[in-house]
Structure 1
């Protein structure tokens, strides 16, 4: 089994040490790098050899949101899981739009964090439940965007699956709801990602709301 290669980005050394101790105790996770600010994080990501980055938000120099945007633009960029003490909507939304695959608070329990790392490495989303709930509320209150042309390329079934993803259904729930096998669900999701030029499941959720398929 190949271990998930993780980089920890946080300006507090004690936080990095605590995370490293927990992650290195896992047989399928290997902490291969650390960084104390956004500039270091970009350099570490550009050097390669990393699968998932745990990214703090508030850091001196270049913050985690700006670093996430720069890293996401790299070819073969690692997945980014934003991990912060600040339970604020603007950070969650900015991180996801910048290219993060997940957003967790630092008060998350170890099993939740470990599960999130494994999920984003597998290409799924990982969002703190209370952040997800408020994200849905905000999109429902926001005006619908004018341009919905990007979803015109979807088949009726693909639209249905995108809506279900936007509503938060997991792969198992999608399979049960549409009477499909898991492999077929994964095929549909792969096609959605390709057709919509989306990086991962998080971007599909955002797109479902931005185009008005969900929340109107």
Structure 2
């Protein structure tokens, strides 16, 4: 009588295949998770460096300024609008960008500071600065691009919001603020990663009122 040749039964092959698929799935999941953690860390480090540059440059521009030249929401100039005006009330959001009745933040596309140049002098007869410059900080939401004057600082900006220190004074406006808090969110997506990195800082206008 002829002996049966050794081999695998159909059930054994199905079980083996299921085990292989499970092992490969676990290994693939671990690999993806590891890559995501590494990618997130790398992106966060990049955004942190850009955030420090943004904070330093905006802070320097603000601390040298003696007035706010312009402040825009989209294409709308809002610098001189009273906080209790419908124009401002309709733009107030919370820190996450959601319209809110108790919101105290405003999304801006541009804010410009007027400051003195390094070689400026004071005119003794009028007590004014004789050599000034305007420093525009511009944000293009579609391109996620932030520029200061003509220099591109970042192309990873998701949003820019400001909180003027006098916003609770409903008869006041942005132009009269002595300091402004910034909330800027940077973001970058790559492969399985999508990292958001917020920057929060306040600038005080040390030279405001010297003109």
Instruction: Assess same fold via TM > 0.5.
Output: no
Q: TM-score, normalised by structure 1?
A: 0.23
Asked which structure has the greater CA Rg, the reply is: 2
Larger relative contact order (Cα-Cα within 8 Å, sequence gap ≥ 6)? 2
| Bigger strand fraction | 2
| Bigger helix fraction | 1
Q: TM-score, normalised by structure 2?
A: 0.24
